[in-house]
Structure 1
Amino acid sequence: MSAHEPAPDAAPGALRRVEELINTFSVETGAESLTDPAALAAWLTERHLLPETTGVGPEDLTRARTLREGLRAMLTSNNPAPDAAAAPTAPAALTDLAVLARELPLVLDPSASPPTLVPHTPGTPDAALAQLLADVAASVADGTWSRMKACRMCEWAYYDHSRNRSRAWCSMALCGNRAKAQAFRNRTR
């Protein structure tokens, strides 16, 4: 289990699912919540993204993890490290996400108010993943995506509720203190 707990200030609305997906794996500890297809099916079902009776296979698990790591890589650009050379980059994860996104078609539902993107074929694992991409697209459109960030220390996803959008760590008590201690050690060397 990760040292991180669900944030009391989690992302709003459907964006919370994106945050929760990214946090199914802790880069810091290596803890994986999506351990097998059954765990993925349970995760998707709990979030009302997939009917309970839908089968989930190993290839769906691989695709979900690809989506997760691609989204995590996207978040690093919302919270760049002060030293751009030290910023974590994951071009392979972004490339993999781009390939996957082309395989998860979304269509416009003009009958929705407002019109919205929806999965082309509902009720499948791919539709559940496509819905997460639609959540990202809606977040970009409404301006909340820039508040989704990956912690500069541990890459945990969090939503920046700060007024000036300057929060840099998932938690001041965890990573903020570590970063400040590391900066202090670097200054005193």
Structure 2
Amino acid sequence: MTRALFIIDVQNDFTEGGALGVQGGAAVAAGVTELLEKHRDVYKVVVASRDWHDADNDNGGHFATDDEPDFVDTWPEHCVAGSDGAEYHPAFDASVVDIHVRKGQGVPAYSIFEGIDDDGRPVAHHLDELGITDVDLVGLATDYCVRASGLDAIEHGRHVRVFTDLVAGVTPASSDAALAELGHAGAEITESSVLDEATA
């Protein structure tokens, strides 16, 4: 097996009712759990990222402090380290995750490749060590961290599939644009049902 699953930021603050909740976030959390219940054996490694921001500063300008957030470069406070908002959504079974990645920690960060595991190692280290050539991508939000993670995975020489039934974004227009950009960069834009077809 040379395939990894990247699960991007399925956290309380990015799902309904959270500080930056997206419509459909809870359904993505449950859907990812269902996918792994059926197809965990497809993946050599499962990697999940979380935004993990400092509580006592603006995280390199990532948190809007004096002005209103522009929702492009500055954001309301979210996913503060140790807070409930930073935790995985309860519908997501994190027990099947092999590598937990935290990103942010004082600076703006969108891509899973900008994060580190509990031992301080970046995702690229694990991909190289495990011989991962293919990455399936799910999570939140399509138009920000999923987009950035997918583009970085392609930049790192991996073949990427994005499962459109297991992502959710901030707006339909920006999500569609992100998926189009990923497709143009070389990602395969498909649905998780391809896993059922592969094992049928």
Question: Larger strand proportion, structure 1 or 2?
Answer: 2
**Higher helix residue share:** 1
TM-score, length of structure 1 as denominator length: 0.28
- Which structure has the bigger radius of gyration? 1
